[in-house]
């Protein structure tokens, strides 16, 4: 399999974010959505408006999100919009909670998922930038491009469906119907591929950027995440989300940072790297990549 290109800069600034996007050489056209995590109130590790604002404005994009399956301060459209406002995102762009107006199903036909249930407004976008904060995650081991495209793009009910590996789309039921860990990871990969296939089949474009800062073992969905355990690493970008997440994992594994062992323990405890193996096995990207330093 041909190696995917992954670009890297150790500089984490608004300008370097624009620079690495331009290196991808693909223009996001039409109505553009930038998919981020708005961050659960209480946490402070999410990508800040000050960092991403220039790129979002350059793309003339909306910031897009969906409601959470867990109970918190982002599980309804009104509360979620309030959180986005409090975190400053409404100052840099229109924020679109994509499942505020219902949902629709994307065919998946996977081992676990028949469909992926996504926010209804996803239909409105011609292009999407998956702008992901790469960090640890209590359930997935780590969260990057694949998590942002699966759990992140799924509606509240869709999140429940992925978390239960296709057993239920009821958020109130899914936490009592959690599957084997590998089944959950595989469901995330299937959902992420479903979104990619939907975009490809409708002549729409997705690009992927991961920012490796505030490297906590906990996700931005945690209202009280553990403090970052590693120094910031940089920004990586690719048109291949599997190669991108693999490159980020390799950055962790190859690090000499004193906090790397703690981060690795979180990933290995959840068998997190399996999502990359499975994604590659179903034809969704490659773990083989060439890292191109743009500094």
pLDDT at 71: 82
State yes or no: pLDDT of 294 exceeds 80: yes
Q: How confident is the model at residue 57 (pLDDT cuts 50, 70, 90)?
A: very high
pLDDT at 207: 98
SS3 of the chain: the string is CCCEEEEEECCCCHHHHHHHHHHCCCCCCCCEEEECCCCCECECCCCCHHHHHHHHHHCCCEEEECCCCCCCCCCCHHHHHHHHHHCCHHHCCCEEECCCCCEEEEECCCCCCCEEEEEHHHHHCCEEEEEEECEEECCCEEECHHHHHHCCCECHHHHHHHHCCCCCCCHHHHCCCCCCHHHHHHHHHHHHHHHHHHHHHCCCEEEEEEEECCECCCCCCCCCCCCCCECCCEEEEECCHHHHHHHHHHHHHCCCCCCHHHHHHHHHHCCCCHHHHHHHHCCCCCCCEEEEECC
pLDDT at 220: 86
pLDDT at 190: 98
Average pLDDT over residues 265-269: 98
pLDDT at 1: 61
pLDDT at 182: 98
8 A C-beta contact, residue 184 and residue 110: no
Which range marks the domain in which residue 127 is found?
A: 4-293
What is the tens place of the pLDDT at every residue in 224-253? 899 999 999 999 999 999 999 999 999 999
Q: How many structural domains is the chain composed of?
A: 1
pLDDT at 285: 95
Task: Kindly state the percentage of the chain with pLDDT values over 90.
Answer: 95
More confident residue, 287 or 72: 287
d(CA 279, CA 254): 22
CATH number at residue 52: 3.40.50
What is the tens place of the pLDDT at every residue in 22-35? 999 999 999 999 99
pLDDT at 247: 98
Lowest mean pLDDT among 106-110, 183-187, 192-196, 223-227: 223-227
pLDDT at 72: 85
Residue identified by tokens 């591929």 is 193
**DSSP bridge partners of 58:** none
pLDDT at 222: 84
Average pLDDT over residues 150-176: 96
């Amino acid at each position: 399999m041909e190696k995917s290109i992954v670009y890297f800069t150790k500089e984490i600034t608004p300008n370097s974010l624009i620079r690495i996007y331009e290196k991808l050489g693909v223009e996001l056209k039409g109505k553009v959505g930038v998919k981020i995590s708005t961050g659960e109130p209480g946490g402070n590790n999410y990508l800040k408006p000050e960092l991403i604002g220039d790129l979002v404005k350059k793309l003339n994009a909306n910031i897009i999100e969906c409601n959470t399956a867990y109970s918190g301060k982002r599980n309804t459209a009104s509360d979620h919009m309030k959180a986005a406002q409090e975190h400053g995102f409404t100052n840099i762009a229109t924020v679109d909670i994509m499942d505020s107006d219902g949902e629709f199903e994307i065919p998946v036909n996977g081992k676990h998922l028949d469909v992926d249930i996504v926010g209804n407004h996803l239909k409105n976008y011609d292009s999407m930038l998956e702008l992901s904060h790469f960090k640890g995650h209590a359930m997935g081991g780590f969260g990057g491009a694949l998590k942002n495209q699966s759990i992140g793009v799924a509606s509240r009910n869709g999140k429940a469906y992925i978390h239960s590996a296709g057993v239920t789309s009821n958020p109130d039921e899914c936490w009592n119907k959690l599957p084997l860990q590998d089944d959950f990871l595989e469901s995330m990969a299937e959902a992420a591929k479903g979104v990619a296939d939907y975009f490809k089949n409708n002549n729409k474009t997705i690009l992927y950027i991961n920012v490796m800062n505030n490297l906590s073992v906990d996700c931005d969905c945690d209202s009280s995440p553990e403090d970052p355990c590693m120094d910031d690493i940089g920004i990586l970008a690719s048109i291949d989300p599997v190669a991108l997440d693999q490159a980020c994992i390799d950055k962790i594994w190859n690090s000499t940072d004193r906090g790397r062992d703690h981060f690795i323990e979180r990933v290995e405890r959840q068998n997190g790297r399996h999502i990359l193996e499975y994604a590659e096995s179903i034809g969704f990207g490659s773990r083989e990549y060439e890292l191109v330093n743009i500094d």
